[in-house]
Amino acid sequence: MFKKILIANRGEIALRIIRTCREMGIKTVAVYSTADKDSLHVKFADEAVCIGGPKSIESYLNIPHIMAACEITNADAVHPGYGFLAENSKFAQICADHGIKFIGPTPDMINSMGDKITAKETMIKAGVPVVPGGDGLLADVAASKKLAKEIGYPVIIKATAGGGGKGMRVVWNEGEIEKAYEAAKMEAGASFKNDGLYMEKFVEEPRHIEIQVAGDQYGNVCHLSERDCSIQRRHQKLVEESPSPFMTPELRQRMGEAAIKAASAINYESVGTVEFLVDKNRNFYFMEMNTRIQVEHCVTEEVVSYDLIKEQIKIAAGEKISGRNYEPQLHAIECRINAEDPYNDFRPSPGKITVLHTPGGHGVRVDSHVYAGYVIPPYYDSMIGKLITVAQTREEAINTMYRALSEYVIEGVHTTIPFHLQLMQNEDFRKGNFTTKFLESFKMK
Ligand code: MV4
């Protein structure tokens, strides 16, 4: 087992990783930017190293500084968390080259899922359902028009280097193709330095349902059931839950098998997530695979009683997984608490938290790095915590969530708490009646 893990991240996930390391008897090293010197991850780690200025590029994305921090603290592994360098294959390779274990998949595995056309080809070969579409890159506008006619409108143009919605355009008829193609190409080039595009049938009003998987170094792969992440706004998830209210035992069986096929196709090692679009007829299609621990991993932990960070560390250290699959035994919901103003188009609201009271009680988990007096820096994402509730049924989990949200007091900044309070009372949400389009028509009272 590792003796000392350096956590190349900040915020709640850095704290989450430190907590598990403590329980496993592993020493921790925090790295931090000058803007984060008063952060809890710095206080709770065994050692801390400042790696640069406030901007991510100067610190949390600064590979030479992070490698220097590994060297001076003698860390034998790096946990990248999510975001920042978590899916950077060059960083994973540099760690390997320096004899430091990157707690995640190999650079090859990251690359094979990072390019979406390559990932889709791999899935087709593995027998995982994908959205019907063209094979390979779109050559030009004319070729795009021809392909769209074959597929049938509406179609969607996506960036092969994309993910998370950037460089993506829905096209409803031939008249819109040229503009959509040019816009997607520009956006992809600017965002990813790769303007390659591909096309597929547009699945209308889908649900976003993802399957958590784990694979070890010996070829064993299992799944840990699904999370429903359909409650999103501009590709930012706000609420996740497990099980999905749309799930059936038969669909879970089929999606679980498909996710295992997907991970096995690249000999996946570590924990990861296979994202699917699910249409109203319960047809499901591979969308992307995330080769990292995700923000919403907690809902899975609560319903299958499994510490995903602990397993991720054990897998990286060469331990075997049990190989069995995990079914949800309870219902868990997570609300992302962001420093944003839901009455003002979710505008970021950095600043000082003057008053803080955190909810507790039966079935309540709070993963957060903030405290009274903490100043939320403007440089990073606006998530200041995750409120997770767990109960026997979905209705009870929602009721506990409403109760916990009502107890949560955060003053000094705007937060998404009022949004979540209204959502928990929404009739369609309570019925499990929602798709990825749900928040487009949701209005704050
Ligand atoms: C789609 C789609 C419909 N049809 N692909 C959004 C982010 C990127 N990962 C892929 N996305 C989508 N791909 C086809 N063929 C709809 C979306 C989509 C979406 C997916 C999941 C959750 C929220 C979404 C919001 C808008 C669009």
> The sheet that has 270-278: what strands, in order across it?
284-290, 270-278, 207-215, 221-233, 236-242, 331-338, 383-391, 364-367
Which atom of ligand 1 lies closest to the CA of 436?
Answer: 23
Of 283, 279, 272, nearest to 211 by C-alpha is: 272
For ligand 1, is residue 165 a contact (CB within 6 Å)? Answer: yes
* Sequence letter at residue 212: Q
User: Could you tell me if 383 and 254 lie in one domain?
Assistant: yes
For ligand 1, is residue 384 a contact (CB within 6 Å)? Answer: no
Summarize the confidence of residues 76-86 as an average pLDDT.
98
Distance 343 CA to ligand 1 centre (A): 25
Give the ranges where 193-307 is alpha helix by DSSP (H).
249-265, 297-304
User: Could you tell me if 223 and 254 lie in one domain?
Assistant: yes
Cβ neighbour number for residue 216 with a 10 Å cutoff: 21
The DSSP annotation for 380-423 comes to S--EEEEEEEEESSHHHHHHHHHHHHHH-EEESS--SHHHHHHH
User: Could you give the 3-state DSSP secondary structure of residue 424?
Assistant: helix
Summarize the confidence of residues 80-102 as an average pLDDT.
98
Confidence of residue 73 (pLDDT cuts 50, 70, 90): very high
CB of 308 within 8 A of CB of 271?
yes
Summarize the confidence of residues 8-31 as an average pLDDT.
98
User: Could you tell me if 85 and 137 lie in one domain?
Assistant: no
Task: List the residue whose alpha carbon is closest to atom 21 of ligand 1.
Answer: 208
Of 172, 166, 164, nearest to 197 by C-alpha is: 166
For ligand 1, is residue 235 a contact (CB within 6 Å)? Answer: yes
Distance 46 CA to ligand 1 centre (A): 41
Summarize the confidence of residues 143-154 as an average pLDDT.
98
Helix or strand holding residue 141 (H, E): helix 141-151
Q: Is residue 127 part of a domain?
A: no
CB of 92 within 8 A of CB of 107?
yes
User: Could you tell me if 155 and 285 lie in one domain?
Assistant: no
| pLDDT score for 165 | 83
**Domain count for the chain:** 3
Summarize the confidence of residues 58-74 as an average pLDDT.
98
Cβ neighbour number for residue 417 with a 10 Å cutoff: 18
CB of 156 within 8 A of CB of 176?
no
| Range from 156-170, 205-219, 226-240 carrying the lowest mean pLDDT | 156-170
Does the pLDDT at position 164 exceed 80? Answer: no
| pLDDT score for 323 | 86
Q: Both tokens of residue 415?
A: 């937060």
| pLDDT score for 28 | 98
Task: List the residue whose alpha carbon is closest to atom 15 of ligand 1.
Answer: 202
CB of 155 within 8 A of CB of 144?
no
pLDDT per residue over 377-406, tens digit each? 999 999 999 999 999 999 999 999 999 999
- Residues above pLDDT 90, as percent of the chain: 99
Our mutation pick for probing the ligand 1 site, out of 151, 208, 244, 277, counting the most ligand atoms within 8 A of Cβ, is: 277
| pLDDT score for 163 | 80
Of 7, 10, 24, nearest to 369 by C-alpha is: 10
User: Could you tell me if 213 and 352 lie in one domain?
Assistant: yes
Q: Both tokens of residue 309?
A: 């960070």
Summarize the confidence of residues 249-278 as an average pLDDT.
98
CB of 83 within 8 A of CB of 295?
no
- CATH code for position 157: 3.30.1490.20
Q: Is residue 116 part of a domain?
A: no
- CATH code for position 362: 3.30.470.20
User: Could you tell me if 273 and 377 lie in one domain?
Assistant: yes
Domain coverage including residue 232: 207-440
User: Could you tell me if 360 and 302 lie in one domain?
Assistant: yes
Our mutation pick for probing the ligand 1 site, out of 151, 287, 441, counting the most ligand atoms within 8 A of Cβ, is: 287
Query: Which of 201, 236, 253 is the last residue before a domain boundary?
Result: 201
Summarize the confidence of residues 13-21 as an average pLDDT.
98
Summarize the confidence of residues 161-165 as an average pLDDT.
85
Q: Are β-strands 197-201 and 155-159 bridged in parallel, bridged antiparallel, or unpaired?
A: antiparallel
pLDDT per residue over 302-360, tens digit each? 999 999 999 999 999 999 999 899 999 999 999 999 999 999 999 999 999 999 999 99
Task: With 0.95 as the threshold, say if the pTM is over it.
Answer: yes
CB of 266 within 8 A of CB of 122?
yes
